[in-house]
Amino acid sequence: MLVRFAGLGLGAATLTTVAAASGNSNVDVLTSSPDVSSFMAEPVTPLSTLVKDKDDMKVKMEMLIMKIQADFCRALENEEDPSKKFIVDRWTRAEGGGGVTCVIQNGKTFEKAGVNVSVVHGILPVDAVRQMKARGKELIGKELPFFAAGISSVIHPSNPHVPTVHFNYRYFEVTQENGEKMWWFGGGTDLTPYYLVEEDVRHFHSTLKNACDQHDAGYYPKFKKWCDEYFLVSHRNECRGVGGIFFDDFEMHSQEDCFKFVKSCAESVIPSYVPLVKKHRNDPYTSAERDWQLLRRGRYVEFNLVYDRGTKFGLYTPGARIESILMSLPVYAKWEYMHSPSDGTPEAKLTEILKNPKEWI
């Protein structure tokens, strides 16, 4: 469930994303006196609870995603016009919890960049329970207490030669009618270029593979395949982009081992993506290339509104925050009737890869 907790705010591109981008990842996420001063905003959970329950996975996940949000936002701001900073919107949800939504819009480098954190709790509605059961979750009961914490982000650059990136990492708990607590993690990072630069795609995938390999050499090929399958725009018979990694219902080890894996993946976002922004943000481009970018964004919108599980989850949830659910959508997109790129063009080269995913490393 791409709990882009989107509407919950868990996504940022939905659930619907503390130091500089070069911060030391070996520093503990939370100490007895957590320093939250470098976060984009105050955490959702009261500081007293963060200290008291510092070893609880709910707290550890919240502190991690708040740090990842701050790191990523500052890394993006470093690539933007100095006068353009993230708008920070800290919000609360009447049914329980809240989030922090950070957005840049109409910047020089980023036409729209959203990084959303959601930390929400309440009663899981019947439709959401039904959706989970359809995925194989053996849940006992109809309306169940839940907790969800996640970060989700979608970056739509101005320059067609800079790819779009999406990432989402989340933690979920459900308490069943018999008192049994179920938990799992999910997430992933994927790349959607408008023009195919194979060197860039190999860099992206290699960085994600390195993060996976720290924990299990079998994770990258498994989660790369899952990503290609998940981000298929079925009615177009093509993938949304060139993939990355995707996983859900991740609970095969201890909570701590799962958390460490998610942490490694989340920390790989900046080194996998920001070098591509630096490389291409000042590339020249034509009006025809801009039109192609807008057409491809249309396909991005189609996937998010028709297939994305996080979007659906958010819309099923009481108190859904629509602005956070739809933060993943670009400012501009276009559709043309029966459009097809000419043979032998860079646009046709990309389309062929999207219809036939390949191994990049």
Residue 181 belongs to domain spanning: 47-196+247-340
Show Cβ contacts of residue 268 under 8 Å, excluding neighbours closer than 6 positions: 189, 207, 208, 210, 211
- pLDDT score at 6: 33
- Please check whether residue 28 lies inside any domain of the structure: no
- Please check whether residue 16 lies inside any domain of the structure: no
Active site residue 235: no
Specify the higher pLDDT residue, 159 or 32: 159
- pLDDT score at 32: 59
Dihedral over alpha carbons 188, 192, 198, 200 (to 10 degrees): -70
3-state secondary structure of 291: helix
Neighbours of 361 (CB within 10 A): 13
Give the lowest-confidence range in 65-79, 121-135, 260-274: 121-135
- Asked whether residue 125 carries a pLDDT value surpassing 80, the answer given is no
- pLDDT score at 121: 93
Using CA atoms, how far apart are residues 336 and 295, in angstroms rounded to an integer? 7
- Please check whether residue 108 lies inside any domain of the structure: yes
* Secondary element (H or E) of residue 169: strand 164-175
* Domains of the chain: total: 1
Question: Model confidence over 48-98: pLDDT tens digits?
Answer: 999 999 999 999 999 999 999 999 999 999 999 999 999 999 999 888 999
- Asked whether residue 165 carries a pLDDT value surpassing 50, the answer given is yes
The single residue of 121, 156, 166, 203 carrying the catalytic annotation is 166
- pLDDT score at 324: 82
- pLDDT score at 8: 37
- pLDDT score at 260: 98
- pLDDT score at 132: 66
CA dist 251 to 87, 146, 161, 246, 357, Å?
35, 16, 38, 14, 28
- Please check whether residue 112 lies inside any domain of the structure: yes
Where residue 131 falls among pLDDT bands split at 50, 70, 90? Answer: low
Q: Tokens 């868990």, residue?
A: 10
Residue 91 maps to which CATH number?
A: 3.40.1500.10
Q: For residues 187 and 74, is the Cβ–Cβ distance under 8 A?
A: no
Structure tokens that stand for 8 in this block = 């919950």
Using CA atoms, how far apart are residues 243 and 224, in angstroms rounded to an integer? 7
- Please check whether residue 110 lies inside any domain of the structure: yes
Specify the higher pLDDT residue, 149 or 1: 149
Q: For residues 249 and 184, is the Cβ–Cβ distance under 8 A?
A: yes
- pLDDT score at 14: 33
| CA 158 to chain CA mean position, Å | 19
Structure tokens that stand for 204 in this block = 């992206």
Phi, psi of 229 (to 5 degrees): -75, -40
- Please check whether residue 11 lies inside any domain of the structure: no
- Asked whether residue 1 carries a pLDDT value surpassing 70, the answer given is no
